[in-house]
Amino acid sequence: MSALRQAFALTLVFLGVLLATGLLADVSIRANLNQTIDNELLDKFDQIKTDLSRGATYQSIAGSYQSESEHFSVDEFISFKSDTGKIYGYPIPDLYGETGFINLAPYYFHEDEEDEESGEHVESETSWRAYVGRVPGGTLVVGASLRTRNQLLNTLPYAFLFSGGVMMLITLGGGLWFGWRAQRRLSKITHALDQIAAGDLTTRIAPQDCKDDLDILSVKLDDTTQRLATTLQQVRDLSVNIAHDLKTPLTRLRAQLEQTQEQNLKGISDAEGVAAALRKTDELLEVFDALLRISRIQSGERKKQFQQLQLDTLANEVAEIYQAVIEETGRSFSLEINEATTINADRVLLIQALANLIENALRHTPQDAQVTLFVSGNTLGLRDNGPGIPVEFYPRVLEPMFRMEKSRSTPGAGLGLALVKAIADLHQAELILSAPASGSGLSIEFVFAKEQTGAN
């Protein structure tokens, strides 16, 4: 259902609710008015009964409500018939034998009212409400005109129709305007999604200011499109890098195999050539194996092997394994631990990640460099004082197969830090690259989320 049809349907629902509310209000107002009139009649009856018990005469009480004339000109009356048969006030023969509340038709009285058009006095069609009851010495009838009540009740439908009509027009107009506005924005989103589906990932639909849910949805769609574009670009870059990294060793392998074949044709055994070919084959297999490891880690299967792990214990274990290896290269090694926490993690993968970082440090730092493994709260990391990495390359070096050295002549396939990034994502840890406080070198930190940590 379009937004316009929804707005129209909601307007019809509002109209139905308004009509139902009007009917309920009419019933409630009628009941309240009738109850108010009955209460006033009862109060008047009790007041007159009290006055009579205090010595007031029927003549004085009746005279205060109406004149001796034949026609009524007031909105209330009383009538009293004594036990001896004498009547005071306006005579109503049919009522003296009744008890309780009674509705009286207009013909009970000769009441005059002024015609609004001609100005002449005409006989009124106003009905009355009366209460009949016993008082000392006779029967008392107290009555009240229903003119004001009837006028109010006759006005109510018109008031409801007018106010309801105005509200309906305002609601319909507002609903259609909002519906048209929402439909236009939804159409824009739909068109953008069609463009994205057609391959145009540069399409953006979010406004500058977020004001409602549709704006938030637009922002989310733009974020998703941006991430999709980034992912596709990474896939393209990965494909190009894989092609470059595989083409060179495959070309060398082919050349080595051709040389070995020529030697064999000459009857010369080339064991060294075969060994070189095997080494190149192993290098290719290592690349594919690293890619498969990254893929398996990104699938999340290793989360089943998570267990409680103390960061200081992990750091000590890695230091015990790699300190000697680092120092044998002439570099210095130190371990810093400050208020370590416990995390829910895969021990083997974290050791693998730290091993990759140490290998990178050994590969890219001078022999007199300082390598430091550190733990601080929920942070685990490695830093060195080597040449470091330019800040603009921080995001790129975490991508698979990315290498800053464009000639790609040095050992390695650019998968070490990509594997570290995959392990960090698996643990919902933020991987932060920065320069140490000394200003040179590189610091790589795992910052584990709170839900992954616990007090130690």
pTM of the entire structure?
Answer: 0.49
Contact 453, 343 (CB under 8 A): yes
Give yes or no for a contact between 185 and 14, defined as CB atoms under 8 angstroms apart: no
* Contacts of residue 50, Cβ cutoff 8 Å, sequence gap at least 6: none
* DSSP structural state of residue 136: T
The answer to whether the CB of 126 falls within 8 A of the CB of 146 is yes
CA 41, 43, 45, 48 dihedral sign is negative
Beta carbons of 317 and 432 less than 8 angstroms apart? no
Separation between Cα atoms, residue 113 and residue 274, nearest integer Å: 128
Any idea what the Cα angle at residue 27 is, between residues 24 and 28, rounded to 5°? 85
- Overall size of the chain counted in residues: 456
Q: Please give the angle made by the CA atoms of 355, 301 and 348, to the nearest 5 degrees.
A: 25
> Is residue 390 classed as helix, strand or coil in its secondary structure?
coil
Nearest Cα residue to 142 out of 132, 134, 152, 151: 132
Helices (H) and strands (E) in the chain, counts: 8, 15
The SS3 assignment for 142 reads: strand
How far apart are the two ends of the chain, measured CA to CA in Å?
Answer: 56
pLDDT at residue 314, as a whole number: 93
399: tokens are 């991508």
What is the number of alpha carbons within 13 Å of residue 246 lying toward its C-beta? 12
- The DSSP letter of residue 95 is G
What's the pLDDT at 337?
93
Domain assignments of the chain as residue spans, ordered by start? 3-152, 213-299, 301-454
Q: What is the CA radius of gyration of the chain?
A: 49
For 34, half-sphere exposure in the C-beta direction (CA atoms, 13 angstrom radius) is: 11
Unique residue bearing structure tokens 């309240």: 32
Please report where in the chains the tokens 């305002």 appear, as a residue: 170
| Per-residue model confidence (pLDDT) at position 318 | 94
Q: What is the pLDDT of residue 138?
A: 86
Cα distance between residue 72 and residue 81, in whole Å: 19
Q: Which has the closest alpha carbon to 419: 294, 242, 298, 289?
A: 294
Spatial distance between the Cα atoms of 166 and 168, rounded to a whole number of angstroms: 5
Model pLDDT, residue 418: 86
Over the chain (456 residues), the average pLDDT of each successive run of 10 is: 66 79 84 89 89 77 54 68 82 81 71 50 66 88 84 81 79 76 79 82 74 78 83 69 66 76 70 75 74 77 86 94 92 92 91 92 90 93 89 82 59 75 90 80 87 54
* Domain 301-454 falls under CATH 3.30.420.40: no
